[in-house]
Chains A and B, each alone.
Chain A
Amino acid sequence: MKKFVVTAALVALVSGCAGPNPYRAPVEERGQTQSRQPQPGTVVPAESAPGVKVQSVERVPVIRQQREAREEAQPAPQAAAPVPAQPQSPAVVALLETARQDSSSGDLRTAQSRLERALRIAPRDPEVYIQLADVQRRQGQFLQAEQVALKGVSVAAGQAPVLKRLWRLIADIRQEGGNSQGAQEARRKAESY
C-alpha cells in the first residue's frame, strides 16, 4: 500500500515536471493524495506576517500513524499545475474577431459591447480580458483598463505566455496613464515569464 502511495507520488511528481498533463482536470480529484509540484515561473514572495499574535507551537515531537486508507473528502485544493488554455468556442472566437475589426476601425464602443458579450459566454478566457483592457486603454480609461487586465491575470494563472502578454499590456496601460514606476514593475513581471 505504502509502496503504491510512494510510487504514485513519484509518478505525479515526474509527470508534473514533464509539463502540462492533459489528462488532469484543473481541479484535483477529492481524496486523491498527490504531491504538489512547485509552481513554474516566479514565486512571488509572500508578505511576512506583520506583528500578529499567532500562537507559537512548542517544539515537542508529534507522532502520527501512517495513513492506510483513503481519507474522507476534503475541499478540492485548486489547480497548481500549469493550466492549458481552454479551447475557445467558435462563438467567442467570432466575437473576439469582430471586436478586433470594430476596434481597428475605431468603433471602440461597439467593440466593447461585443467583448462584454464574449465575457458573459467565456468569463475565464484571458483573451477576452486582454482585448477588453486594450479597448478601454484606447478609450483613455486607464484605471478600468488596468483592473480588467489584472482580472485577466487572475484567470490566467498557470498560463505563462498569456501572463507575459497581460503584464506587458498592464505596463503599457500604466505608462500611458502616467504611472511610469508601476509600468516598470509590470514590465519586470512580464520579463519573468
Chain B
Amino acid sequence: MSKKRTPPAKGRRSRRTTKPSRLGRLVRWLLKLSLVLTVLAAVGLVYLDAQVRSKFEGKRWALPAKVYARPLELYPGQALTMDELKQELKALNYRFVRRADQPGAVEWASTRARVYSRGFAFPDGAEPSRNMLLTFSGDRLTSIRAADGSQPPLVRLEPMLIGGIYPKSNEDRDLIKLDQAPPYLAQALVTVEDRAFYDHFGVSLKGIARAMWVNIRAGRFVQGGSTLTQQLIKNFYLTSDRTLSRKLLELPMAVLLELHYDKDEILEAYLNEVYLGQSGSRAIHGFGLASQYYFARPVQELELHQVALLVGMVKGPSWYDPRRNPDRAMERRNLVLKMLFEQGHVSREQYEQARRQTLGVVKQRSLHKGAFPAYLDLVKRKLREEYRDEDLSSEGLRVFTALDPLVQTRSEEALADSIARLEKRYGQRASDLEASMVVTDPQTGEVMALIGGRDNRYTGFNRALDALRPIGSLVKPAIYLAALEQGYTLASPLEDEPLSVKMPDGSVWEPQNFDRRSHGVIPLHRSLALSYNQSTARLGLEVGLDKVIDMLERLGAERELKAYPSLLLGAQALSPLELASIYQTIAANGFRMPLRVIRRVTDAEGRELSRYPFTLKQQVKPELVHLLQYALQEVTREGTARYAYSVLPDNLNLGGKTGTSNDQRDSWFAGFAGDRLAVVWLGRDDNGQLPFTGSGGALRVWSEFMRRERPEPFVATRPAGVEYVWIDEATGLKSDPRCEGSRQLPFLVGTAPEQKVDCGLENPVRRSLDWFRNWFN
C-alpha cells in the first residue's frame, strides 16, 4: 500500500510549476490516478477487514453432519459377553493395554475387564469418563465397579461414529478447542513453524529477513517466511494458487486478523484448518481429523511422539506422509522432537523415550465412511424429510441413530455364512444370489441393523428399502388375523380343496399347494402352520379381500394394495422394510410402531433440533393377536419353519412365517423372538428361479442370525379375554388332556367349541379296564 501512496507527494511538488507542460499534465494525471487508487485501496482495506471478520466470526467451516450408532449401555445383569465388549471397544479404537490408566484404554483378564471410558456429551446429559472394572460371568455382565469404589447402576460408552453427510467438496473436520489439544501440540507447532508467534503482529519482518538470508545462501527456495497467521490466512481466505496478488493480500489480511483477535483464537483456528493429508477424494484438515486418520484415536489421547509427527507433517503432508514415506516422516518427527528438547519444552528423558517409538500409524482406513451403507442410506432418507441438504452437510449436526453395530455385524456374518453353505449345497443353481435383511427390536420399533445386499460395503442398490418383491406366504398372517377378527377360531375347520376363480379379465385363478395335493378338511391353525394355499385362498375369499387389505394396512402396509385374489397368496410386492413394519405389529401384540432409525438430532453444540420419540397405536385387539402369535409359534414348532429349532434353543418360543413367491423366485422368512425381529429375503436381481424355498433359504439365514444373536425368549402373557381349551385335533371338538389326539388351543373366552369327544372319561368301566392295562404294563 505504501507504494501506492508515493505518487501524491510527487504530485504536490509538481503542482507548483506554473507552466502547464507535458510533464505537468502527466503529473496531474498521475495525481488523479493515485487519488483514485488511494480511495480504492482504502475501500479495499475496509472490504478485506469485513471479509476477515465475517469469515472468522461466522461459520468458519462447513461441518458435515455426524451420524452415531447407539451407545452401548452397560449394566449389571446385561446379556453381554466379553467378546462382544471387545468387539465394541475395538470399533471405538480403544487401546488394548497392560494397564488402562488413561481414557480410551482397556485391560483384559479372564473374566474381567478394566475399561477407562472416554465420556461423551450426550444431548440428555454428559456421561463422564470412567475408570471401571467390569466382571463377567457366562454370557452376562455381572458387576460394574468404578475406581472410587462406587457401583454405578448404568453406564453408557461413547457412541461409535458411523458416518457423515459430506458436502460436495468432501471437506471433513473434527473440530477441537485449544484446551482440548494434547500436551505439547501448541508448543511444538510454535517452535517448528513460527517461534515469534506470540510476539509478532501477524507478519514477522525478522522471519522474512531470516528466510531470505537462508534462501540466498542456499541459492534456492528452502524456507518461507510465513507466520502461523499468514499460513492461516492463506488456507482460510485465499486460493492455493501461487500468484502475486495473493501474496500481496496475505500481508494486510494477516495484520488485520491479528488486530481483531488474540493469539489463542488464531492458533485454535489454525489447528482446525491446517491441511494434513488426503484420504481418497477427501482432504484431511485439522489435527482432530488427522489424529483419527493416522492414529485412530481422539486428539486428546495423542502421545508426544505422535504430536511431533503431525506437527512435522505440516510442512509437507504428502512429502512426509508416514504411510508412503515412513523414513522421511521418521526423520522429520525426530527433528521436531529435537527442537522441542532444545527449546526446553521436554526433558531429555522424554525426548529419548519419544525418539525410540515407532511411528505408530494405523493401517489406512476409510474413516468409517462406507462401513454401514444401507443403514446410513435409510438415515439420510429420513433426515431429508426434515432437513435441507446444505444444512446436513455444513451445520455440524449430530445425528443419534439406533444402529447396533454388534447386531449389524452378527447379521452380516450370519448372511455370509449361510449363503456360502447354500452355494456349496446348490452349486451353480445358487449363483448370483442376492440378499437383504432388516433387524428390529419388536418392543421399541427401532431398526437395529439393515443389509441392502450381499456386498455390505457397497453403497449401491438398497434392497432392504427398494427391492419390491412378491411376498408369497408372508401375507398369510394378515389373512388369518382378519379371519379371527371376523369370528373364526384357531379350531375352525377349513377346506383345503381345489378352487378356481374367474377373474375380471376372463382368466381363471387356480391356486395350487406346494406339494400339488389337497388336504381336505383341516383346522385353521394347521392350515397356517403348514402354509396350505387352497385353504388359505378359500378363507381369504370368504373373509373378503377388502378385509384382508384393511388388515394389512392396519398392520403397517403403506403402499396401495391391489385387490386381486392373487393377493391372498402373496402376489403383492413389498420391501423387506415394509414387511418388518407389518410383522413388528404382530410381535408387539397389535400395537403398531413406526420403525425408527433416528433417535435424535442436535446442532453442533448439542441443542436438540428434533427427536423421534417412541410412539405406538393399537391396531388390532391384543386378544386376537395372541391367537395369531400361537399359530405363528406352531409354524416353527410343527410347521414349515421347524428347521429353526434344529439350531436354536427350545425355550425361545419363536414366531414366524416362511414365504416363497410364485415359481420360487423369492425366498422369505419373517419372524421374531422376544427382543429381535428379522425379515430375510433371498433372491436374484434378474428375478431368476431359486433352488430352494423360503424355508430352505431365508429361514437358514434367519436361524443362523438368531443363533448368533442369542435373543430373549418370546413371552406373551395371556390376555384376560383368552382361555386355553383342550381340543381334539382332527375334529376341532372339545377334548381333554387325557384323550389321545388332543392339544391346547387359545380361544377368545366363550368361543371354544362346546361339543366334546369321548375318550372314556365318562365311562367307569373303560376306566377300570385301562387301569388294568396300565397295571399289566
Q: Is there contact, CB below 8 Å, between B638 and A73?
A: yes
- Give chain B nearest CB distance to A10 CB in angstroms: 12
Say whether B95 faces chain A, with CB atoms less than 8 Å apart: no
Contact A67 to B750, CB < 8 A, known contacts A62-B733, A120-B444, A157-B717: no
Bound together, the chains give a CA A1 to CA B776 distance in angstroms of 12
By a CB distance below 8 angstroms, the chain A residues around B611 are: 109, 113
B560 CB → nearest A CB, Å: 26
Contact of A46 among B618, B718, B732, B748 (CB under 8 A): B748
Judged by a CB distance under 8 angstroms, whether B386 is at the interface is no
Tell me if A17 counts as interface (CB < 8 A to partner B): no
Q: Is the CB of B492 within 8 A of A54?
A: yes
**Residues of B close to A61: CB separation below 8 A:** 757-758
**Contact residues, B64-84 vs A (CB, 8 A):** 73, 75-78
Take A76-B653, A95-B154, A110-B125 as given contacts and tell me if A2 and B487 are in contact as well, using a CB distance cutoff of 8 Å: no
8 A Cβ contacts from A1-49 to B: 1-3, 5-6, 9, 26-27, 30, 33-36, 38-39, 41-49
Are A49 and B751 in contact, with the CB atoms below 8 A?
yes
**CB nearest neighbor in A for B123:** A113
Q: CB distance B715 to A27 under 8 Å?
A: yes
- Asked if residues A49 and B487 are in contact (CB atoms below 8 Å), the reply is yes
Cβ contact within 8 Å between B715 and A43? no
Whether A27 contacts B713 by the Cβ 8 Å rule is yes
Chain A positions within 8 Å of B77 at CB level: 89-91
Question: Looking at the complex, which one of A2, A38, A42 makes contact with B738 (CB distance below 8 Å)?
Answer: A2
A170 to chain B, nearest CB (A): 12
Interface string of B492-536 (1 = CB under 8 A from A): 110000000000000000000000000000000000000000000
Interface residues on A, range: 35 or more
Give bound CA distance, A74 to B589, whole Å.
21
Contacts of B489 in A (CB 8 A): 54
B675 touches A123 (CB 8 A): yes
- Of B18-26, B176-184, B363-371, B629-637, the segment with at least 4 beta carbons within 8 Å of chain A is B629-637
Contact B738 A154 (CB under 8 A): no
**Residues of the B chain whose Cβ atoms lie less than 8 Å from the Cβ of A89:** 75-77, 153
The answer, yes or no, to whether B755 is at the interface (CB within 8 Å) is yes
Q: Is B720 an interface residue (CB 8 A)?
A: yes
Q: A66-B740, A75-B633, A90-B75 are in contact. Are A83 and B717 (CB under 8 A)?
A: yes
Could you tell me if B613 and A116 are in contact, using CB atoms closer than 8 angstroms? yes
Q: Are B717 and A64 in contact (CB under 8 A)?
A: no
Any B CB within 8 A of the CB of A55: yes
B288 at the interface (CB under 8 A from A): no
Instruction: Output the least CB separation between A107 and chain B (Å).
Output: 10
Which of the segments B218-226, B235-243, B306-314, B721-729 contacts the partner chain?
A: B721-729
Q: Is A75 a contact of B614 with CB atoms below 8 Å?
A: no
Interface residues on B, range: 35 or more
Interface assignment of A181: CB less than 8 Å from any CB of chain B: no
- Check if B73 sits within 8 Å of A121, measured CB to CB: yes
Residue pair B750, A30 in contact (C-beta under 8 Å): no
- Residue of B634, B738, B760 with most chain A CB atoms under a 10 A cut-off: B738
Cα of A138 to Cα of B461 in the assembled complex, Å: 44
- Check if A147 is an interface residue, CB within 8 A of chain B: yes
> Does B229 reach chain A (CB closer than 8 Å)?
no
CB <8 Å contact, A91 and B75: yes
Q: Which residues of B contact A79 (CB under 8 A)?
A: 715, 717-718
Known contacts A78-B626, A147-B591; is A132 also within 8 Å of B614 by CB?
A: yes
CB < 8 Å: which of B76, B488, B589, B650 contacts A91? B76
Cβ proximity bits B632-650 to A, threshold 8 Å, 1 near / 0 not:
0110111000000000001
Interchain CB contact (< 8 A) of B759 among A66, A91, A155: A66
- A171 contacts chain B at the CB level, 8 A cutoff: no
Within the complex, which residue of B638, B732, B758 is in contact with A64, where a contact is CB–CB below 8 Å? B758
| Set of chain B residues within 8 Å of A120, measured between Cβ atoms | 73, 441, 443-444, 446
Establish whether residues A119 and B443, one from each chain, have CB atoms under 8 Å apart when the complex forms: yes
Given contacts A44-B749, A63-B758, A91-B75, contact A80 B622 (CB under 8 A): no
Least CB distance, A26 to chain B, in whole angstroms:
5
Q: Is A50 in the interface zone, CB < 8 Å from B? A: yes
Residues B759 and A73 in contact, CB atoms below 8 Å apart = no
Task: Point out the residues of chain A lying under 8 angstroms from B616, CB to CB.
Answer: 144, 147-148, 151
Check if A74 sits within 8 Å of B638, measured CB to CB. Answer: yes
Residues of chain B within 8 A of A54, CB atoms compared? 487-489, 492
Chain A: minimal CB distance from B159 (Å): 13
Complex-state Cα separation, A154 to B622, whole angstroms: 7
Bound Cα distance A172, B718 (Å): 26
Instruction: Give residues in B with beta carbon < 8 Å to A.
Output: 73, 75-78, 123-125, 153-154, 441, 443-444, 446, 486-489, 492-493, 542, 588-591, 599-600, 608, 611, 613-618, 622-623, 626, 630, 633-634, 636-638, 650-651, 653, 675, 713, 715-721, 723-725, 728, 731-733, 735, 737-751, 753, 755, 757-761, 767, 770-771, 774
Interface residues of A (CB under 8 A from B): 1-3, 5-6, 9, 26-27, 30, 33-36, 38-39, 41-55, 57, 59, 61-68, 71, 73-80, 83, 89-91, 93-95, 109-110, 112-114, 116-117, 119-121, 123-124, 132, 144, 147-148, 150-151, 154-158
A-B contacts, 19 listed (Cβ < 8 Å): A1-B774, A5-B737, A36-B744, A38-B723, A43-B749, A53-B542, A57-B493, A62-B728, A62-B758, A64-B735, A65-B739, A75-B653, A77-B724, A80-B723, A91-B77, A109-B611, A116-B444, A124-B715, A151-B588
Top 5 A-B pairs, shortest CB-CB distance? A49-B487, A123-B443, A91-B75, A46-B748, A157-B717
Given A35-B737, A64-B728, A80-B723: 10 more A-B contacts, CB < 8 Å: A61-B757, A66-B738, A66-B740, A67-B759, A78-B630, A78-B718, A83-B717, A91-B78, A116-B614, A120-B444
